[in-house]
Amino acid sequence: MERAQVVIVGGGPSGLLLGQLLARSGVDAVLLERHTPEYVLGRIRAGVLEQTTVDLVRQAGVADHMDSAGLPHDGFDLCFDGQRHRVDLHALTGRRVMVYGQTDLTRDLMHARQQAGLRTVYEAEDVALEGWDGTQPRVTYVHAGQRHEISCDFIAGCDGFHGVCRASVPTERIKLHEKVYPFGWLGLLADVPPVSHELIYVRHERGFALCSQRSRTRSRYYLQCSLQDRVENWSDDAFWAEMAARLPAASAASLVTGPSLEKSIAPLRSFVAEPMRFGRLFLAGDAAHIVPPTGAKGLNLAASDVAYLWEALDAHYRGDGSGIEHYSARALSRVWKAERFSWWMTQLMHHFPDQGSFAERMQHAELEYLIGSPAALTALAENYVGLPF
C-alpha cells in the first residue's frame, strides 16, 4: 500500500495551490486529478485575484509570471442608465486587485509541481475515500487500469462542486444551503483588445453584461442569458451585437470584436456545505461552496480556504492540532461574507425575469444611492478587493 501524509483530491487551483504550499512546509502530499492537464486548462473561469490571493501565490513561490503578466487594477466601472460610474478601489481602500486568469495561475501551479517532481496522478479514475472518520484514512483510485490504495493522515477534498469528497459524507452529517438563480452567464474569450482599461459591470433591461480581460490583447466578456439558452445558438456575431446593445453607445462604438477562442454558458448558484471538516477529511474551494461570479469571489475563496488548511496542517505536523480544530469555523466565517457580497452584487446587477416593477425600482434606487455615497462605495470596494484572511 502506498503512503502519503496528505492526499489531495482535485487538481484545480485549490488542490494545486495547497500542494505547492504543503511542499514548502515539507509535508508529503500526493495529488489525484480525474482529468488530463489539458482538460483542466481548457476550462475558462476566473479572472480577478484579490490582494490576499496574490500574496498567497507569492508565498507559494509561483508568482513570477503573474507579477510580469498580471494587470493591477485600481478600480472598475458600474454602468446603468447608459452611464459609467467608476468605483475607485484604491482611493476607497488603499488596495487594488490583479487581473490574471485562473487558467494562467493553474498553468503556473502545474509547472511548479512538475518541476518539483511532486507526486501527481492525472486521469485518476474511481477515486474513493475510506476511514476518514478514524485515524487511518485511505484513498483508492484506478489509473491505467491498475487499482491503487494510499494510506494517509489527512484527505483534502479539492475536487470542486461535482467531486467525490463532499458526496462521500453521509447526508445526515452535512448541512447544504443553496440558492439557484433564474439565469446563466454566456462567456466569450477572444484575442481582441479590451473595450476599457478596467472592468465594466453593466445593469441593462436586456440583461447584465460584464467586460473583463486577460491581457491588453485578450478580452473576456459575459452576457446574462436564459437558462434555456444553448451556446450553439449564439453565433459570435450575435454575441457581439448583444454586448453592444447592452453597453452605452460610446463604449459600444469602441468595442473591438473578433472570433471567439472559447464560448460557454455557466449556471449561477450560491451554495455552502457546512461544516467543511469531517474527521480527517477537509473540503476546500468549490467542493465546499459556490458563488455567482458577479463578485469575482470563487477563486479567491478557494485561496483563503487553502491558506487556512495549509496553516492547520503545517501546525499539526509541528505538534499543534489547534488549527485543524478551527479550520471549518474559520473558513466558513469568510465564506459567508463573500457569499453575501456575491449574492448582493448579483441581485443588484441582473434582470430577474419575474421581479416586477417594485424590485426594479429597488435595484435602481440602490445603484443611485451607491454612486452618491462614499460610505456605500467604501463598503462595496472593501468587499470587492477582498476582506482580510
The answer to whether the CB of 239 falls within 8 A of the CB of 232 is: no
Q: Specify whether 73 is catalytic.
A: yes
CB-wise, 58 or 269, nearer to ligand FAS? 269
Q: Minimal distance in Å, beta carbon 99 to ligand FAS? A: 11
Is residue 10 part of the contact set for ligand FAS (CB under 6 A)? yes
Going by C-beta distance under 8 Å and a sequence separation of 6 or more, which residues neighbour residue 326? 312
The partner in contact with residue 75, picked from ligand PHB, ligand FAS, none with C-beta cut-offs of 5 to 8 angstroms by kind, is: none
Residue 28 CA to residue 155 CA, distance in Å, equals 12
Residue 101 CA to residue 43 CA, distance in Å, equals 11
For the record, the C-alpha cell of 368 comes out as 443611485
Is residue 45 part of the contact set for ligand FAS (CB under 6 A)? yes
Is residue 95 part of the contact set for ligand FAS (CB under 6 A)? no
Going by C-beta distance under 8 Å and a sequence separation of 6 or more, which residues neighbour residue 177? 270, 271, 272, 273, 274
Q: Specify whether 181 is catalytic.
A: no
Q: Minimal distance in Å, beta carbon 92 to ligand PHB? A: 18
Give the DSSP H or E segment for 184.
strand 175-190
Sign of the torsion angle spanned by Cα atoms 375, 376, 377, 382: positive
Among 263, 297, 316, 350, the one annotated catalytic: 297
For the record, the C-alpha cell of 341 comes out as 457580497
Q: Minimal distance in Å, beta carbon 270 to ligand FAS? A: 12
CA separation, residue 185 to residues 8, 176, 309, 334 (Å)? 30, 24, 31, 25
Q: Minimal distance in Å, beta carbon 27 to ligand PHB? A: 32
Q: Minimal distance in Å, beta carbon 220 to ligand PHB? A: 4
User: Given candidates 102, 103, 196, 363, which one binds ligand FAS under the rule CB under 6 A?
Assistant: 102
Do the strands 199-202 and 76-80 form a parallel or antiparallel pair, or are they unpaired?
parallel
Q: Specify whether 384 is catalytic.
A: yes
**Residues of this chain that bind ligand PHB (CB under 6 A):** 46-48, 199, 210, 212, 220, 293-294, 296
User: Given candidates 164, 199, 223, 303, which one binds ligand FAS under the rule CB under 6 A?
Assistant: 164
The residue count for the chain: 389
Reduced to 3 states (helix: H, G, I; strand: E, B; else coil), residue 376 is helix
Q: Specify whether 201 is catalytic.
A: yes
Nearest-CB residue to ligand PHB? 47
Give the DSSP H or E segment for 257.
none
Residues labelled catalytic: 73, 201, 293, 297, 384
Q: Contact positions toward ligand FAS, by CB under 6 A?
A: 9-15, 32-35, 40, 45-47, 102, 124, 127, 158-160, 163-164, 266, 285-286, 293, 296-299, 302
